[in-house]
Chain A
């Protein structure tokens, strides 16, 4: 079977539509940042997170009210069921000793819901100071990645390609972050920005770049091959001739990430969601953002 064989779509000709589409997505993302902001996880905010297993299913609101009378701050409570076991996810902030908080949680739940046998299965604590370091690390790693990529493309290709690649990556990261900002609290799973999500963003950066570089590689080859052909037509031909590869690789990756989204458990759901969306937007951007940027830069150079 073959898909997109000898495809000849006018990607470059219709790039303006892509600009408008991307522009709208970027605009919505930025508006959403301004209104909703981003919900930071405790990795970057500091705080405590507990997963508590109980023998029977408890009502999240009831647990919350039972605990809030006991604890200094109002805890955030979620309930879900994994592998036939009922679990509570509780997030709190505060400076109390962690031993005391753990004790308050188990005693509070047990006394409010006798026979629920709460067992703390996971404790995750990040101090505010450590969170700041993690936040700095996350920002450095994203900016560092983009810089390294820019330099590498600069060496292997030319500067216009570097700008195109990094521009597309910014585009992907901003829009994926925008989606997180827009949908936070509206889906059944956590969209808080934590370390795992940063890892997902870097994976998106890596994979989106993958697509871009494959197209760029073809452009590099064709520029040497078809010297008389117009530059925009070379770009279009390169996109079309790599199209089936782009779609198939993105497709297989999306398939496995979807598997991860369904079967990977609660911890990886936000991660898988980010990558699902990020790879889709990354595939789009390597065609409609990265390559057109190269063309626009080239056009400006020839006009001068």
Chain B
């Protein structure tokens, strides 16, 4: 029966739609399956794990692997679990994020509004810097830090993270600021602002969306980093990822899969948490011109 078109258009379930939903469903399964396995394995005891029914739910819930991973599992010769690694990671991440985001915002602002001679060349170098693989720089940086006497120290690893974060962050901030109306900046100059005052009172209050994007990128990047933490942090400041590796890579004794799984989940909790509380802002920040050049 045909009805007269009026009001909202009726919704039809087309073949394309069904295909799309199937695809989304498969994707979701693909990404959720490992997480499911990790969680249920961490809740089994070793006997059940040895029974090798990897997808089965635990017959009996056992939580002992979680506190063990947190404070008793052995990382090399010490058996204090991931706890020291967690606090090391916090000590590395917080200052690195603050310093790199702050400096990059200032850089991006200078590049977008105070077009000095050679600004374009500098911008090009930044772009280039954002794509250089870390490995190339590790050895020279190590020698430099050694000469400065900060190799294997907390300031040493913070400096490294700041250096590696700045090209891409500067790029992001510059592009965001370039999308702001230039008249605002002109008005602020006439109103008597200087370089720093305009940045503090006019630009920073408008930077919330892009700052959140930058913070998310940096927190997850630095928290998940393994290579730089291993090379530059030194024994006393090993981040959580390095300790996780030490727990999982046992050379002797029995591999305790449930503890490994708990430890892995614990390590990934911080980036997950960051995504969940700020996902909305992340999308908004990207929409605000963060990525488009």
Query: Are chains A and B native binding partners rather than an unrelated pairing?
Result: no
- Please give the residue numbers on chain B whose beta carbons come within 8 Å of chain A beta carbons, in ascending order: none
Using a CB–CB distance below 8 Å, which chain A residues touch chain B?
none
